[in-house]
Structure 1
Amino acid sequence: MNNILGIMTHRIHHPNSFRRHARAALAENFSGVIVYTPQGVNLKTGQIHGHVFRDGTWSRQRASYPKINLDIGFYPESSLRKASLVKKSKQLRFTAYGLGNKCKIQSHLVRSSFLQPYLLPTEQVKTAQEFIQFLKAHRSIMLKPINGWGGKGIIRVTLDKSHFIVQQNGMPALTLPLSSQGPYIRKVLRNGRHLMQKWIDIRNRSGRVFDIRALVQKNGEGNWQTTGTAVREGKQGKITSNIKSGGSAHQVSDYLKKEFDNERGEALTNSVAEIAQYIPPFMEKSYHTRLSELGIDLAIDTNGRLWLLEVNIKPGRMVMLQVYGKKAWERSFRVPFQNARRILDKNSK
């Protein structure tokens, strides 16, 4: 198992769904892969129970820890603790380590004087009173699950004179009396912890929400690269721009020049590139940890001001496919495997 790549994920319906991962590992001269969940890791015996791909076939078996591992999973609250324990194990080495939930990530971002002008007012909602005060201060806010991904569970809440309005993708807007604010937020919090963030108007001239995703990856030489950037435009009436919710992807510079003007569009495009280059080394230094790839989400309001929405440790690559084409998308998929190979070779010397 010295030359096998470990791949940890949240669930395995069928190992063959990871064939593309196995092929990418083989292309980087790994002898095979073992795909497993955190529940398949025995921290006492130092063994993994998972699906091994070698010589073109899968087999379920127990194996010793691989020398290097990729973590591609998205873990719900129920399995988050076990996944965290696995990642903290000194014997099980990963190409990258966690950044924590959205609130913890925000607490690191605000330490940067460079990033502070781009950050929205953001707090974790712990009590109904905190929610009511934040809503009164900002009038319209976004509620986000602190361990959420893919735009799931995001809610916009807007305060009006005699009521408040709740909007969520795929659901009709809900108008509630002000007296229901406390019971409403307590109901939301029963479904998991949330942060609240000031809402900004990031709709384009057609009224569609749009933001910008920058995919940054550590390559086979150990250097950070911006693999691609893309505008994500949501469907009409949606409150998020997520591609999985029916959004579309567009080339950044052309889109921004069309929305604003050539000079402003070019300046914003350059600022996006600058922030994307800055964040990865800053986060590694701030966390004192190793990272492999990040999805950096930015937005531009109707006044042309650039904002940093959030940083994701496991970004999707659908925007690469839509904007840059299949070959570029496949290359972006390969980069984490090239970085894994580099780390393995470095540790073997």
Structure 2
Amino acid sequence: MSTPKIDVQVISSGILSEDVLMLGESVIKQAKIPVQQQLVLQFGSLRQSVSVVSVPRYEGIRISHSLARRMGVTTGTPLRLQYRTASRTLALGPLLGVLVSRDYPDQSDKPFGAITMFCRELADTCRAQGTHVYFFTPQSIHTDLKNVEGWVYHSNGWHRATLPAPDVVNNRLTSRKLENRPIVQQFIRDIKQRYGGVVFNEKFLDKSEVFDALKNDSSLQKYLPESHSLRNYTMLKSMCSRYPVVFLKPVRGSLGKGIIRLSRLGGEGWQASFTTVGGTRKQSYPNLLKFFSAISGKMKTVRYLVQQGLTLIEASGRPIDFRALTQKNATGKWVVTSIVGRTAGNQHYVSNLARGGTLATVRESVAKSNLPAAYRGDASARLTRAALDIAKGIDAHIPAHFGELGIDLALDTGGRIWLLEVNSKPSKNDNTPLNEGKIRPSVRMMIQYARYLSGF
């Protein structure tokens, strides 16, 4: 569907009234828009009765200052335009809202802290594609749920503006507490039910939910280490009787926090390795029951997944795993945008960059590892296939809308691929492809998917 990109020109409200739009003659012909008739202007949640006046030898759209203020746009804002004949609706957009955890209004050059560069990159790419994007926090949603105090980026920096609720929301909240706030949940419902909009990455995934959902799919079982919710000592004892190493992972953890590696010492003894900021803290227990007693207090507040230990490929004794970024593209299909190898930092057994891990390409990671030569040649293709299979599995078996997923995979020393974790809020730093130009493919892909969802 062709949706022409046009530039907005804002005219004084004394010259042009709010219910009149001036459109270039060629745009009117291309989109088959009736002139001087009552139409509905749609921009996100905004609806306004308007009539259209044709302007010869002009390519843009002229709107009144008062309408521009309600839309949160300024002169020079590029938008796409579409006329929907059945509903006599002139739609401008798409309007994309990115929901972030916090902003820093007193830091005008870095209003989003560490992710400001990502937000700027997204704003620049949206402008090139004729998509209007704003960034907002739970605190900036109006109580009427129709408008938002959002941040928009112009050539002269970041500015606050009042904007309608968007056509598409990318939920990038990094806190479950914020995501579960009543106003956020009601806003998400309203976007979908009142305004016909779409929210993607609408919820966090926890580890139990992912493994429980995927193990019912016979085509995915080959990727899944044995995993169970740790409810009692019997479950721990059962897993430890089958595997010399097991991992206890907080169901709602991230960045490798709180993971415990439990390994058999010989006889009845076990050694627990706890992740800490400075490295790994090790403690020995004479038997499994002593270890369970030591963590049972923590289990009152932290739910754990107990998982089969894997013999991951490594380099110089440091484990290697892989982060694949999967995204939906301009036709709504899953693709793998990037895969990077991550080598754990010294004194760590988790590979997160926050814990001293380092990035390399898949080829480089495999080349420096102890993976047998027979499994090296097709490693990248097999990791790509696994990431796609798992992304499609999440879509099929978990009732929520996702547009991008960070999928952590591992290769064992026998060449087999395993799923470690699925992240529904992938970091915009951890998965950056190496040696990319200024605009990351992941940013372009996200905007293309937003356009696909909104019909622009």
Shorter-chain TM band = 0.7 to 0.9
Tell me whether 1:344 sits opposite 2:454 in the alignment.
yes
Return the match for 1:79 from 163, 167, 178.
Answer: 178
Q: Which residue of 2 aligns with 1:240?
A: 350
Selected match of 1:293 from 404, 423, 441: 404
Higher relative contact order (CA 8 A, sep 6+): 1
In the TM superposition, what is the alpha-carbon distance from 1:208 to its structure 2 partner? Answer: 0.8
The structure 2 residue matched to 1:168, chosen from 233, 250, 274, is 274
Structure with greater strand percent: 2
2:180 pairs with 1:69: no
Quote the Cα distance in structure 2 between the aligned partners of 1:222 and 1:57: 32
Across the aligned residues of Structure 1 and Structure 2, the Cα RMSD in angstroms comes to 2.9
- How many percent identity over aligned positions? 24
**Cα 1:23–1:205, aligned 2, differ >3 Å: closer, same or farther?**
closer
Shift of 1:143: 1.5
1:117 aligns with 2:217: no
Equivalent of 1:100, from 205, 209, 234? 205
Structure 2 CA distance, aligned partners of 1:96 and 1:223?
15
Q: In 2, are the aligned partners of 1:256 and 1:269 still within 8 Å (CA)?
A: no
TM-score (norm 1): 0.85
What corresponds to 1:266 in structure 2?
377
- Equivalence for 2:330: 220
In 2, Cα distance between equivalents of 1:254 and 1:297: 17
* Corresponding residue pairs, total: 342
**Structure 1 unaligned residues grouped into runs of 5+:** none
Aligned to 2:18: none
| Superimposed CA distance per residue, residues 279-337 of structure 1 (whole angstroms, 9 cap, x where no aligned partner) | 3333323335532112222112233322122222222354654x531317722233212
| Greater percentage in helix | 1
Which of 1 and 2 has greater Rg? 2
CA distance in 2, matches of 1:222, 1:309: 25
2:418 corresponds in structure 1 to 307
Aligned counterpart in structure 1 of residue 444 of structure 2, from 334, 342, 345: 334
Cα pair 1:257 1:263 within 8 Å, conserved? no
| In structure 2, C-alpha distance between the alignment counterparts of 1:317 and 1:41, rounded to whole Å | 24
- 2:137 aligned partner: 36
- Answering whether residue 377 of structure 2 is matched by residue 278 of structure 1, we say no
Deviation by residue 1:59-103 (Cα, 9 ceiling, x = unmatched):
556654212111112224x33433566545534621343363111
**Counterpart pick for 1:12 among 85, 103, 106:** 103
State yes or no: 1:316 paired with 2:316. Answer: no
TM (norm. structure 2) is 0.67
Partner in structure 2 of residue 130 of structure 1: 235
CA distance in 2 between partners of 1:215 and 1:134 (Å): 31
Tell me, yes or no, if the aligned pair for 1:231 and 1:252 is still in contact at 8 Å: yes
8 Å CA contact 2:372–2:414 kept in 1: the answer is no
The one of 182, 189, 192 aligned to 2:302:
192
Between 1:252-261 and 1:200-209, the stretch displaced more is 252-261
Q: Distance in 2 between matches of 1:25 and 1:303?
A: 44
- 1:307 aligns to what SS in structure 2? strand
Structure 2 segments unaligned to the other structure (5+ residues): 1-42, 45-92, 106-110
